[in-house]
């Protein structure tokens, strides 16, 4: 690239440090081909110091000195001293308890600075924890009371189902409500729901368990088989007791049922034969279940048992035994024991009366006639007249032979 012609006005070259006017100096230089005359025209300030140059900017040795670059001195910066912030107010944070100062920056803005850290948040957290612990302890106390109460009846396991509510700090009453809603409780005290359905009020647990204990004692005292009061599961449910409680059967009535059941258990063979004849669907075990079933009225149970006892006495005396006949006698107030005492007389009168009625062409003298006469049943007046008539006929025919035997039989109620 051709060297810039610094002396050509076309290029408008102006050196950074134009050569100062100096007194012209002439130097003669010699080269290999020719000699040239050099005349000082000025001085160029370089990084190494001032160098004399000619009008072309050439040093005497023919080099072109490079002017030093003048660094501009930046304008002096004015340091602005900060205006100190001014405290304008102080307040306490209601949530944390921090003491906070509010400052004015002097430019219309403000900032806050914590002067002292507060403890309100920590205090509240501590109070909250203390309250939860107190609540838990209160719940634990209520739970322990309830557990102890139920454990007295062997039902502590029921209360264990609500132990998880201790943390909620429930009262004993609240624990009881929670407990009564658990499936295990509702299974154990199922009779209460049935009582309500039957129009009776629910009873508390102590009363409920107390009734069960009384029922069981009654059964044991009368020697009832254990299967009738055994607990069906680990919760202690007793089927017959649940049924009795649900129907509001009191211990006195329950005992009356057991007495009837006991009669069946202790019955003689003829009474058991009568039961099988009168109630073919019931054996002695089924009869006990029938007695304990609250659907069956105690009056019906008593009549059935009495009928069976009467039927047993009839069978034992060789008399005819029918369910209808035995039940009629039971309805009339005749007990099995009362019939048993008169069974032999009834059998003898039936046999003798039938013979005499046949001999004297009278109305048939039946077992029912003898029973009405001897047991003084409704209709006994007619039966007595029929008996007396047969006696008169016999006496008229055999007056000479009746003797003391006939009188003795008459006194005994026998023809």
Examine residue 11 and state whether it is found in any structural domain, yes or no: yes
Q: Quick check: 220 pLDDT over 70?
A: yes
- Mean pLDDT over all residues of the chain? 80
Q: Are residues 141 and 16 in the same domain?
A: no
Whether residue 129 has pLDDT greater than 50:
yes
Residue whose C-alpha is closest to residue 212's, from 185, 184, 238: 238
Q: Looking at the structure, do residues 237 and 279 belong to the same domain, yes or no?
A: no
- In-domain check, residue 79: no
pLDDT at 330 over 80: yes
Q: Is the pLDDT of residue 71 over 90?
A: no
With respect to residue 248, please indicate whether it lies within any of the assigned structural domains: no
Q: Are residues 222 and 279 in the same domain?
A: no
Tens of pLDDT, residue by residue over 183-194, are 888 888 999 999
The tokens describing 205, both together, are 């647990």
Residue 68 makes CB contacts below 8 A (sequence gap 6+) with 16, 17, 45, 46, 47
Whole-number Cα distances in Å, 240 to 186, 282, 296: 17, 18, 13
Residues 6+ away with beta carbon under 8 Å from 221: none
Take residue 345 and report the two structure tokens written for it.
């007389």
pLDDT of residue 348: 93
Are residue 345 and residue 261 in the same domain, yes or no? yes
Q: What residues have CB less than 8 Å from 312, skipping those under 6 apart? A: 267, 268, 270, 271, 272, 273, 274, 321, 336
How much is the pLDDT for 15? 57
> DSSP string covering 49-116, please?
EEEEEETTS--TTS--PPPPPPPPPPPPPPPPPPPPPEEEEEEE-TTT--EEEEEE-SSS-EEEEEEE
Q: For residue 105, give its domain range.
A: 86-118
Average pLDDT, stretch 113-136?
A: 75
Mean pLDDT, rounded, for 106-131: 80
Identify whether residues 236 and 263 lie together within a single domain.
no
The whole-number pLDDT of residue 136 equals: 61
**Same domain, yes or no, for 265 and 375?**
yes
**Residue 409 predicted with pLDDT over 60:** no
- pLDDT value, residue 197: 96
* Whether this model's pTM surpasses 0.75: no
Question: Percentage of residues in the chain with pLDDT exceeding 90?
Answer: 29
The reported pLDDT for the residue numbered 19 is 53
Of 307, 295, 235, residue with least CA distance to 267: 307
C-alpha 354/C-alpha 374 separation (Å) is: 15
Indicate whether 323 belongs to any domain: yes
213 pLDDT above the threshold of 90: yes
Structure confidence at residue 95 (pLDDT)? 83
For residue 28, pLDDT over 80 is answered with no
| Domain-embedded: residue 77 | no
For residues 258 and 359, state if they share a domain.
Answer: yes
């Amino acid at each position: 690239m051709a060297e810039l012609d610094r002396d050509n006005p076309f290029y408008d070259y102006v050196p950074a440090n134009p050569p100062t006017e100096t007194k012209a100096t002439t130097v003669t230089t010699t080269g290999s081909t020719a000699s040239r005359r050099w005349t000082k025209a000025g001085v160029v300030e370089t990084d190494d110091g001032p160098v004399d140059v000619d009008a072309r900017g050439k040093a005497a040795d023919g080099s072109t000195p490079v002017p030093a670059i003048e660094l501009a001195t930046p304008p002096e910066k004015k340091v602005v001293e900060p205006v100190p912030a001014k405290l304008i107010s102080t307040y306490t944070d209601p949530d944390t308890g921090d003491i906070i100062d509010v400052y004015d920056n002097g430019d219309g803005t403000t900032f806050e600075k914590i002067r002292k850290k507060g403890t309100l948040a920590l205090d509240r957290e501590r109070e909250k924890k203390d309250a939860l612990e107190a609540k838990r302890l209160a719940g634990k106390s209520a739970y322990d009371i309830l557990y102890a109460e139920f454990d007295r009846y062997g039902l502590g396991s029921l209360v264990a189902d609500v132990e998880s509510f201790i943390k909620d700090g429930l009262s004993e009453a609240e624990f009881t409500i929670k407990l009564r809603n658990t499936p295990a409780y509702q299974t154990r005290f199922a009779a209460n729901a049935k009582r309500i359905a039957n129009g009776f009020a629910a009873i508390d647990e102590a009363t409920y368990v107390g009734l069960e204990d009384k029922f069981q004692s009654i059964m044991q005292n009368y020697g009832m088989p254990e299967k009738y009061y055994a607990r069906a599961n680990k919760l202690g449910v007793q089927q017959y007791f649940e049924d009795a409680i649900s129907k509001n059967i009191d211990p006195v009535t329950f005992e009356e049922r057991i007495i009837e059941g006991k009669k069946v258990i202790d019955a003689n063979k003829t009474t058991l034969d009568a039961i099988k004849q009168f109630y073919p669907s019931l054996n002695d075990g089924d009869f006990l279940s029938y007695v304990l079933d609250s659907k069956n009225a105690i009056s019906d149970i008593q009549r059935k048992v009495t009928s069976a006892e009467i039927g047993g006495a009839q069978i034992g005396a060789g008399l005819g035994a029918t369910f209808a006949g035995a039940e009629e006698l039971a309805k009339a107030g005749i007990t099995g024991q009362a019939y048993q005492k008169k069974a032999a007389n009834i059998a003898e009168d039936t046999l003798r009366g039938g013979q005499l009625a046949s001999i004297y062409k009278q109305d048939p003298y039946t077992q029912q006639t003898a029973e009405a006469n001897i047991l003084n049943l409704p209709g006994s007046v007619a039966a007595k007249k029929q008996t007396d008539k047969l006696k008169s006929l016999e006496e008229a025919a055999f007056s000479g032979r009746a003797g003391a035997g006939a009188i003795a039989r008459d006194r005994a109620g026998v023809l």
